[in-house]
C-alpha cells in the first residue's frame, strides 16, 4: 500500500489549471467590494457620494426591499463588519447539528472506512485526521467537507453507504467519495479563511460557479491518485441512484455523453456549482489534465 505523502508539486499538477487564477481574481474582486462598501458607506453617512441622500435610499430600497427615509449607508458598514461574526456562529451551529445527529467514524465504528480516512489524510499531508461523521438525510446521496473556525470535518450521508457497503460490497466507490472530500480539505477549499476571502465575490454569477466547478475537477483528480480508480462508478450513483449504478453500461453512457451539448446545456453547466455529469465523467476518464469548465 502506497503511503508516501504527495509532494506539493504533485498536488499542484492535480489542481485544475484555471482554479488558482480564478481564485485570485475572486479575492481581488472581494477586496474591491469590501473597500467599495466601506468607502461609500462612510461617505454616505457623512453626507457625500452616491450612498448619500435620495440615491442612497433608492439603492438600499432596491437591495433590501425596505423603504426607509433615514440614512442607511452606515448600516452597510456595520453589516460588512458583522458578517464574519455571523458566519462563525452559522458554521458552529451547523457543526452542532451534525455532531448531534450522526455517528463518528472511528477505529471501532466502521473501522475499514476509518483506516483509509487515516491513510489518505497522511498521504495528503494533513496535520490532523479530520473527523468524519456518518448521518442519514432521507435518501439524499451526498457527502461534503466543511469547517469550523480552525478545523475541518467531513459529513457522509448514509444512504449510498448502506447500499454500496452491504449490497454491492463496493468499498472502492466509498473510498473515492471520501478521498474527494478530503481533497477539498487538502486544497484548502473547506476553510474559514478561504470562504471569507471570496465571500462577497461569490455573489458574482458565472465566475463563482466556474471557480466551484474547477474546485470539483481538482478534487476528482486528487481522489483518483489517492484511490487508484477512475471514480466513474460513484458518479453513476449520483445519476441513477444507489441501487442501479452498478447496472449502468459506462461505455454506452460515455458514447452518449457527446450528445449532451447545445446552447441550453452550456447555460445549465455555466450555472452549476458542479460540472455537468457528462463533462465530469469525460474528465475522469481522461486520467490527467483539466476538465472542461464551459464548453
Ligand atoms: Zn466536491
Tell me, what DSSP letter sits at residue 5?
P
pLDDT digits (tens, 9 = 90+) for 71-108: 566 777 787 788 888 888 999 999 999 899 999 999 99
- What confidence tier does 5 reach under pLDDT thresholds 50, 70, 90? very high
Cα distance between residue 6 and residue 12, in whole Å = 10
Cα distance between residue 88 and residue 77, in whole Å = 18
Please give the distance, rounded to the nearest whole angstrom, from the Cα atom of residue 216 to the centre of ligand 1: 5
Please give the distance, rounded to the nearest whole angstrom, from the Cα atom of residue 81 to the centre of ligand 1: 29
Please give the distance, rounded to the nearest whole angstrom, from the Cα atom of residue 28 to the centre of ligand 1: 24
Please give the distance, rounded to the nearest whole angstrom, from the Cα atom of residue 72 to the centre of ligand 1: 39
Cα distance between residue 224 and residue 187, in whole Å = 15
Coil, strand, or helix at residue 143? Answer: strand
The β-bridge relationship of strands 131-135 and 103-104 is antiparallel
Please give the distance, rounded to the nearest whole angstrom, from the Cα atom of residue 156 to the centre of ligand 1: 12
- What confidence tier does 39 reach under pLDDT thresholds 50, 70, 90? confident
- Exposed, middle or buried, 176 (CB in 10 Å: 0-12/13-18/19+)? buried
Cβ contacts of 222 within 8 Å, gap of 6 or more: 6, 11, 14, 124, 179, 180, 183, 186, 187
pLDDT beyond 90 at 179: yes
Please give the distance, rounded to the nearest whole angstrom, from the Cα atom of residue 177 to the centre of ligand 1: 9
Nearest-10 Cα torsion for 254, 258, 260, 261: 160
| Predicted local confidence at residue 228, as pLDDT | 94
| Of 59, 64, 29, the residue nearest 44 (C-alpha) | 59
Please give the distance, rounded to the nearest whole angstrom, from the Cα atom of residue 39 to the centre of ligand 1: 36
More confident residue, 60 or 217: 217
Q: Provide the percentage of residues in the chain whose pLDDT is more than 70.
A: 93
Please give the distance, rounded to the nearest whole angstrom, from the Cα atom of residue 73 to the centre of ligand 1: 38
The length of the chain, given as a count of residues: 295
Please give the distance, rounded to the nearest whole angstrom, from the Cα atom of residue 124 to the centre of ligand 1: 16
Please give the distance, rounded to the nearest whole angstrom, from the Cα atom of residue 273 to the centre of ligand 1: 9
3-state helix, strand, coil in the chain (%, to 5): 60, 5, 35
| Of 127, 128, 144, 124, the residue nearest 226 (C-alpha) | 124
Buried b (16+ CB within 10 A) or exposed e, 39-77: ebbbbbbeeebebbeeebbebbeeeeeeeeeebbbebbb
Nearest-10 Cα torsion for 166, 155, 180, 240: 50
| Predicted local confidence at residue 73, as pLDDT | 66
Tally helices (H) and strands (E) across the chain.
Answer: 13, 4
pLDDT beyond 60 at 69: no
pLDDT beyond 90 at 120: yes
| Predicted local confidence at residue 2, as pLDDT | 58
Cα distance between residue 129 and residue 137, in whole Å = 24
| Predicted local confidence at residue 80, as pLDDT | 78
pLDDT digits (tens, 9 = 90+) for 142-177: 888 888 888 899 998 888 788 877 887 888 999 999
- What confidence tier does 13 reach under pLDDT thresholds 50, 70, 90? very high
| Predicted local confidence at residue 149, as pLDDT | 82
Mean pLDDT of 251-261: 85
| Predicted local confidence at residue 111, as pLDDT | 92
Cα distance between residue 97 and residue 95, in whole Å = 5
Please give the distance, rounded to the nearest whole angstrom, from the Cα atom of residue 234 to the centre of ligand 1: 13
pLDDT beyond 70 at 195: yes
pLDDT digits (tens, 9 = 90+) for 268-295: 999 999 999 999 999 999 988 898 999 8
Please give the distance, rounded to the nearest whole angstrom, from the Cα atom of residue 85 to the centre of ligand 1: 26
| Predicted local confidence at residue 169, as pLDDT | 83
CA pseudo-torsion sign 99, 90, 272, 274? negative
Cα distance between residue 68 and residue 81, in whole Å = 21
| Predicted local confidence at residue 62, as pLDDT | 67
Cα distance between residue 61 and residue 56, in whole Å = 8
| Predicted local confidence at residue 261, as pLDDT | 84
Q: Provide the percentage of residues in the chain whose pLDDT is more than 90.
A: 50
- What confidence tier does 251 reach under pLDDT thresholds 50, 70, 90? confident
| Predicted local confidence at residue 178, as pLDDT | 93
- What confidence tier does 182 reach under pLDDT thresholds 50, 70, 90? very high
Amino acid at each position: 500500500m502506497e503511503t508516501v505523502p504527495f509532494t506539493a508539486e504533485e498536488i499542484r499538477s492535480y489542481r485544475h489549471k484555471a482554479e488558482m487564477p480564478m481564485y485570485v481574481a475572486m479575492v481581488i474582486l472581494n477586496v474591491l467590494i469590501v473597500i467599495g462598501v466601506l468607502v461609500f458607506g462612510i461617505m454616505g453617512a457623512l453626507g457625500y457620494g452616491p450612498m448619500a441622500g435620495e440615491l442612497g435610499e433608492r439603492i438600499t430600497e432596491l437591495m433590501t426591499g425596505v423603504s426607509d427615509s433615514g440614512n442607511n449607508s452606515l448600516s452597510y458598514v456595520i453589516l460588512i463588519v458583522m458578517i464574519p461574526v455571523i458566519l462563525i456562529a452559522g458554521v458552529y451551529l451547523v457543526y452542532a447539528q451534525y455532531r448531534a445527529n450522526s455517528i463518528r467514524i472511528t477505529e471501532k465504528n466502521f473501522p475499514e472506512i476509518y483506516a483509509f480516512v487515516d491513510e489518505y489524510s497522511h498521504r495528503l499531508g494533513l496535520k490532523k485526521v479530520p473527523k468524519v461523521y456518518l448521518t442519514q438525510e432521507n435518501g439524499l446521496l451526498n457527502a461534503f467537507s466543511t469547517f469550523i473556525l480552525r478545523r475541518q470535518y467531513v459529513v457522509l450521508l448514509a444512504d449510498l453507504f448502506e447500499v454500496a457497503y452491504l449490497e454491492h460490497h463496493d468499498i472502492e466507490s466509498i473510498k473515492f467519495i471520501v478521498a474527494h472530500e478530503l481533497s477539498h480539505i487538502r486544497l484548502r477549499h473547506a476553510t474559514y479563511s478561504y470562504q471569507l476571502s471570496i465571500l462577497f465575490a461569490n455573489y458574482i454569477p458565472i465566475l463563482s460557479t466556474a471557480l466551484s466547478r474547477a474546485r470539483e475537477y481538482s478534487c476528482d483528480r486528487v481522489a483518483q491518485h489517492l484511490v487508484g480508480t477512475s471514480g466513474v462508478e460513484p458518479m453513476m450513483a449520483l445519476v441513477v441512484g444507489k441501487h442501479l449504478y452498478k447496472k449502468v453500461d459506462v461505455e454506452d453512457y460515455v458514447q452518449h455523453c457527446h450528445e449532451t451539448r447545445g446552447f441550453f446545456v452550456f447555460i445549465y453547466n455555466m450555472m452549476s456549482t458542479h460540472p455537468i455529469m457528462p463533462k465530469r465523467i469525460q474528465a475522469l476518464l481522461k486520467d490527467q489534465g483539466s476538465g472542461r469548465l464551459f464548453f
